[in-house]
Chains A and B, each alone.
Chain A
């Protein structure tokens, strides 16, 4: 069965410093992986997706993620945090079989201080 583990429930950074949000996945086949962001009182918005093309994936707002099969990781990074990046981030893995076609992590809340 597919699963994702987001290793940190909260991450705090200062504005202008790098962001690292960690995600490990478990899958019995070659998965598709996604990062979604949810700002307060908003729905989830796709940041980026990996679908077996380039292992380094660039997304919106300067975010990127690297698929590392050997480490079963798909960590999200950004070189310099902005106040507007404060939100909840969800790592998601695809599941071709079963009811839950997409399996969501429990989320990481990113806090950005001035």
Chain B
């Protein structure tokens, strides 16, 4: 285990459903991320919560809604999704410190939540 826990591991939902993905870390990290992993495509960063500030990828549809109630927990709320949203959703965390522009601080990933939209 990496220290980043994602639930559920698998989720099947209809297009009219509302569901949520959960991520939890107790590594003392102060930044958390949602990534989307689709076949044959690079990982796509969706949302970042860093030092309590949210940054988002403007290309992510509004049917995805993140929530970060504290530095250890991150949610991704899903509603009226489309079949093309089926993917592996990965949560990651890291400790922001020092030379942020170097990218030297490493991400720790969870195992992912496999989402299938029917």
Contacts and interface: CB of A to CB of B under 8 A. Distances in A.
Q: Do A and B come from one complex?
A: yes
Interface of A: 31-32, 34, 36, 41-46, 49, 51-52, 90, 93-96, 99-107
B-side interface size class? 20 to 34
A52 B102 CA distance: 9
Interface of B is mostly: loop
Contacts of A95: 103
B109 A32 contact: no
B4 interface: yes
B112 A43 contact: yes
Nearest to A97: B101
Contacts of B45: 99-102
Residue of A43, A102, A103 with highest tally of chain B CB at under 10 A: A43
Interface of B: 2, 4, 6, 9, 40-43, 45, 48, 55, 57-58, 90, 92, 100-104, 106-112
Nearest to A102: B103
A43 B43 contact: no
A106 B108 CA distance: 19
